[in-house]
Structures are given as structure tokens and as C-alpha cells.
């Protein structure tokens, strides 16, 4: 079984102007309309405020969307390419959500 090292980092999302129906709260809550597409650039910062640059040979970034934080399984699970740091949630991903 592969061991994963998890560290707490600050993440910043850059929504740009194409994601007008998306709202990100200060606590990390993302609000978007079902059936919309979200395309955003991810920036990661170490606890000391310096930018964290993922190592493409060793780091895997995943975005998990859960209805409730304590849920065991995510509703949406997306890999984020470390070369682009772009998270894309397509309309098809959110159409099934209630």
C-alpha cells in the first residue's frame, strides 16, 4: 500500500472572469450552479507564506468535493496537473449533484 504524506497548506483559487457564477467563501466553501463549468488556477502556499511549487515527479494534487466535510467518499474527485495547476470541473461533473 502506498503511503501518502499529507501536509496542511493554504490554497488560493484564481477564478478569472469566465467563472461569474462561482463564489468561494473565506472558509474554502465553493458555491456554483449545477451544470456550470469551473476552470481555475490553483496556488499553494507553505505555512510560512512562501509559495509551494509541486514536484512533478513526486507530488500528486487532487481536488475532492464532498457534500459534508466528514463524508467518507467524495462526490467529485479530480486530479490537478502539476504542470498547469489548473482545476477543471466540467458541467457534466455537477449535473448529477443534488
pLDDT digits (tens, 9 = 90+) for 3-35: 555 555 555 666 555 555 777 777 767 778 888
> What's the rounded mean pLDDT across residues 43-56?
86
Ordered by start, the domain boundaries in the chain are 10-95
The pLDDT, as a whole number, for residue 14 is: 61
The pLDDT, as a whole number, for residue 2 is: 52
pTM of the model: 0.73
Complete DSSP assignment for the chain: ---------EEEEE--SS-TT-EE-TTS-EE--TT--EEEEEEEE-TTSPBP---TTT--EEEEE-SSTT-SS-SEEEEE-TTT-EEEE-HHHHHT--
Average pLDDT score, the chain: 79
The pLDDT, as a whole number, for residue 84 is: 92
Amino acid at each position: 500500500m502506498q503511503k501518502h504524506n499529507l501536509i496542511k497548506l493554504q490554497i488560493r483559487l484564481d477564478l478569472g472572469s469566465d467563472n461569474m457564477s462561482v463564489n468561494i467563501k473565506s472558509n474554502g466553501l465553493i458555491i456554483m450552479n449545477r451544470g456550470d463549468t469551473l476552470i481555475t488556477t490553483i496556488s499553494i502556499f507553505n505555512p510560512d507564506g512562501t509559495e509551494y511549487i509541486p514536484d512533478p515527479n513526486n507530488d500528486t494534487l487532487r481536488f475532492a468535493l464532498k457534500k459534508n466535510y466528514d463524508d467518507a467518499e467524495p462526490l467529485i474527485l479530480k486530479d490537478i496537473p502539476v504542470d498547469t495547476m489548473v482545476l477543471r470541473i466540467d458541467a457534466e461533473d455537477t449535473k448529477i449533484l443534488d
